[in-house]
Structure formats: C-alpha cells, structure tokens
Amino acid sequence: MDWSDENLIEVLRKGGIAVMPTDTIYGIVGRALDKNAVERIYKIRKRAPEKPCIVLIGEISVLLKFGINLTKAEEKTIEECNEPTSFIVDCPDEKFSYLHRGTQTLAVRLPAPQQLRNLLVLTGPLIAPSANPEGLPPARNIEEAKVYFGDLVDPVRGRESSQRPSTSNGVDLYVDGGELAGKPSKLIRLHSDGTATVLRI
C-alpha cells in the first residue's frame, strides 16, 4: 500500500474524510485534532455518539497534544508491540470530549508500517473507525465501501476544499489498497498503576 499519495495528504490536511487501508482493515479517517472532521465521520458512519474512535499516531510524542503524558514504561509497551494493537490511555482534558466522548480515555495505535507513520506525521493523528456504517461488516475493498458511503461529490478530483463545504456528508477520497481480509486491532487498557488489561484479542 502506498500511503505517500500527495492527494491523500492534501485532502486530510484540509479537513477532508478518506476511506483508506490502515495497518489492519479499511478505515474511514480524518484528522483527530479537527473537531469538524471528527463529527463528519460520526455522521457519515452513523456511529453511536457515545462511542469513541481509535486514533492512529505517527509518533508517541504527538500524544502531548491531547494532554496525554505516558510513563516511560507505557511508551515502551506501545513502541515495542509487534502486532496491531490499540492502547487505551487516560485523556482527562474536556477539550477533547469530542474524541473521548465522556470516557476520559483515548484508544491510540502506533502502526508498524513506516510509510503509514510518515503519513500520520504529515497529516497529524487520524481517527480511524472501520469503514462501515454502525452494525454492518467492515468493507473489505473500495467497492464495498462505496456501497456503504456512496460516490465522491467531486468524482474527478476528489475533494477541493475551496469548492466544498467542510460540513459535507460524503466521503472526499477513496484510496484503493485492494482486498483486505484483516481483522480489527487487539485492544489493551493501560492503567496508571502500570498494569494492563486485554479487552480484545
């Protein structure tokens, strides 16, 4: 998968929404630090408003932007994980309630593919729920995703931020990574006392 596509980077930087392969399955993604993009994804995906989304990060240090201060042990656990794993950590800042949805925690994942990490450094952290409306199976390819979310508003060029309102209810870009038969990431809760609980294998 090529995550270095300039159009993808531009669309996400400008607040757009893309369906693209992640390190596990197809996700519907947008910038986590852009509240409007986050709310658009909830609306497009018909996601239950009380359920937070997983956030993909390109480097551990970016968590400081969310007011998240990890211990060295927690950082080591995340960085040395050798399988796709999302870690739930404390995120008490109410400024980010649009992300943690009142749970005061955030699920974050540092993907293994370096090119995907590079994308995340360029765009900033991305929320990345699976590419499907709530309650339906994740899309395994772009054709299935288009059945769920429809065609692009601008099918020729994808999203042109100067010509489209940022409140659009559609997807701005589809990135075809072929058939993906993966599964959602493992989910682990990191506790402040240094312990961890596996929530999903």
What CATH number did the domain enclosing 77 receive?
3.90.870.10
pLDDT at residue 86 in the model: 98
CA distance to 118, 128, 187, per residue, from 81 (Å): 18, 19, 12
32 and 128 in contact (C-beta within 8 Å)? no
Sequence-ordered list of residues with C-beta below 8 angstroms from that of 30, at least 6 positions apart, any chain: 12, 15, 16, 17, 18, 37, 38, 40, 41, 126, 127
- pTM, full prediction: 0.91
DSSP letter for 102, please. Answer: T
- The kind and range of the H/E element at 123 are helix 114-123
| Other Cβ atoms within 10 Å of 177 Cβ, number | 17
In a domain, 67, yes or no: yes
Query: In which domain, by residue range, is 12 found?
Result: 6-200
Print pLDDT tens along the chain (201 aa).
789 999 999 999 999 999 999 999 999 999 999 999 999 999 999 999 999 999 999 999 999 999 999 999 899 999 999 999 999 999 999 999 999 999 999 999 999 999 999 999 999 999 999 999 999 999 999 999 999 999 875 544 444 433 343 456 789 999 999 999 889 999 999 988 888 999 999
In a domain, 1, yes or no: no
pLDDT at residue 159 in the model: 43
Q: What whole-number distance in Å separates Cα of residue 8 and Cα of residue 24?
A: 18
Number of domains forming the structure of the chain? 1
